[in-house]
């Protein structure tokens, strides 16, 4: 068995780009109801662990987060989120006992500097366009892009109708 080692710096301001994919890439989050369910669980996780969501996107078969977990272990945060989503799907009878929503592991990248941070934010916000779900990031309701527009960080028409190249996007 492969031994996985996660980077866990002592810095409470450290930020991580996390990706959680569904098992077999099944589209568990393909409806607004499913996406709202994931958002509610994200809110509970944010409050429980007192973490910061800097950027996020919920796509039909995976979720991207850019978080700062403070002193918390981000592996525990991901586990709690996955478990919470599974419990919610069971409550509304979308998941049977023994059913599986998530791949067993998740992908993690430690943010190294401001440039890396910016690249990850752009990657997250452009991802719905890359997957041909919308023509522009503003058209995807289930991401933090609109909050960035409201704060004046991005113009509303950022990457609207244009293809942009973000290093690493070929891996998603």
Q: Which residues are catalytic?
A: 142
Sign of the Cα pseudo-torsion (137, 138, 140, 144, in order): positive
Whole-angstrom Cα distance, residue 41 to residue 92?
14
Whole-angstrom Cα distance, residue 120 to residue 143?
13
Q: 46 burial class (0-12, 13-18, 19+ CB within 10 angstroms)?
A: middle
Residue 87's CB: how many other CB atoms inside 10 A? 11
């Amino acid at each position: 068995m492969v031994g996985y080692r996660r980077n866990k710096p002592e810095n409470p301001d450290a930020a991580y780009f996390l990706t959680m994919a569904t098992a077999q890439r099944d589209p568990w989050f393909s409806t607004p109801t499913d996406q709202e369910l994931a958002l509610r669980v994200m809110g509970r996780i944010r409050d429980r662990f007192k973490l910061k969501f800097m950027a996020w996107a919920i796509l039909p078969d995976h979720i991207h987060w850019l978080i700062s977990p403070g002193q918390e272990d981000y592996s525990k945060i991901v586990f709690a989120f996955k478990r919470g989503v599974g419990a919610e799907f069971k409550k509304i009878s979308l998941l049977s006992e023994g059913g599986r929503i998530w791949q067993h592991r998740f992908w993690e990248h430690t943010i190294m500097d401001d440039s890396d941070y910016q690249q990850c934010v752009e990657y997250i916000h452009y991802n719905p366009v890359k997957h041909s779900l919308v023509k522009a990031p503003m058209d995807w309701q289930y991401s933090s892009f609109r909050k960035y527009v409201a704060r004046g960080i991005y113009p509303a028409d950022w990457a609207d109708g244009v293809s942009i190249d973000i290093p690493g996007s070929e891996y998603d």
